[in-house]
Structure 1
Amino acid sequence: MADLGSYLSAHWPLILVVLAVLALLFKGPIVRKLAGIEEIAPENAVRLINDHDAVVIDVREMGEWSRGHLPGARHIPLGEVGKYLPDLRKHQEHHVICQCASGMRSARAAGILKKAGFTKVYSLKGGIAAWRSAGLPVEKD
């Protein structure tokens, strides 16, 4: 049986591919955790919205937004979050829930807000897909 060193050197391209796939699979949760971004389940988001008047920011693109969004959500595409920071500052001390299709873009938006000094910012875990799966209401403009 070959030793581990010779196996690794003989199969380094395969090992590199496996490591890259693992990095992609775990990148989202690890990045969110390192950035201090808290994910919130749809049921808990409903509680924050109802009990604390949480602000919901939908960071999807217009085509996604028009197919349905959380009731009362504000539409600010991810690429424009920085531009809207001055307007969003009035919500800096409120609970803010960022939402997208699956939770990846919303985590990035939550990171932008966190860096800007927002302290109670969340990313909706699973995005609108999880919201819909939980049977929660969606509205269209």
Structure 2
Amino acid sequence: MEQFLEFAVNNWMLVTALLALFALLAWDSSHKAGPKVSTHEATRLINQNNALVLDIREKADFKAGHLVDSINIPNSQVTNRIEELEKHKSVPIIVVCKTGQTASAASKALKDNGFEQVYRLGGGIMEWTNNNLPLVKK
């Protein structure tokens, strides 16, 4: 650790450039996948803009509890089943996963296929339940 600190002090411009590159990479990745929305913003999009909720969790997790009228396409199948969503290109799509971490890949796949209004639910279904919002259980 001492050597690292000595290196960082002696090469502060290099370390700063590396940190800036990491920040740009993180920004670029989140920009390509679409913006995160809070549970409040997601509710507004659903109620006012008839947003479609795409739940990318596995079928068993989906059956245990999901948002009303959401569509379940597991994350591993999104790119293969994207044609099922073609009729929803004109409405906002909110991608939901368990914790908000895996929604990026599915969101990016949608954006790459011409879906312009793609959002990711920040915190995923766990944030939804932490805010005591309703789930449908089948």
Are 1:54 and 2:48 an aligned pair? no
Deviation at 1:117, TM superposition (A): 0.7
Query: What TM-score does the superposition give when structure 1 sets the normalisation length?
Result: 0.77
Separation in 2, partners of 1:107, 1:140: 25
Paired residues for 1:95-114 under 5 Å: 95-114=92-111
Confirm whether residue 129 of structure 1 aligns to residue 96 of structure 2.
no
Q: Please show how residues 30-69 of structure 1 align to structure 2 within 5 Å.
A: 30=27, 32-69=29-66
CA RMSD of aligned residues (A): 2.8
CA positional deviation for 1:32: 3.9
Across the two proteins, how many residue pairs are aligned to each other?
125
Equivalent residues of 1:32, 1:38 under 8 A apart: no
- Letter of the aligned partner of 1:58 in structure 2? D
* Partners of 1:31 and 1:131 in 2: CA distance: 26
Shift, 1:62, TM fit: 1.6
Gap runs ≥5 in structure 2: 8-17
* Runs of 5+ consecutive residues of structure 1 not aligned to the other structure: 9-18
User: What is the CA distance between 1:5 and its match in structure 2?
Assistant: 8.2
2:69 matched residue in structure 1: 72
- The TM-score with structure 2 as length reference comes to 0.79
**2:129 is aligned with 1:138:** no
Q: CA deviation at 1:31?
A: 5.5
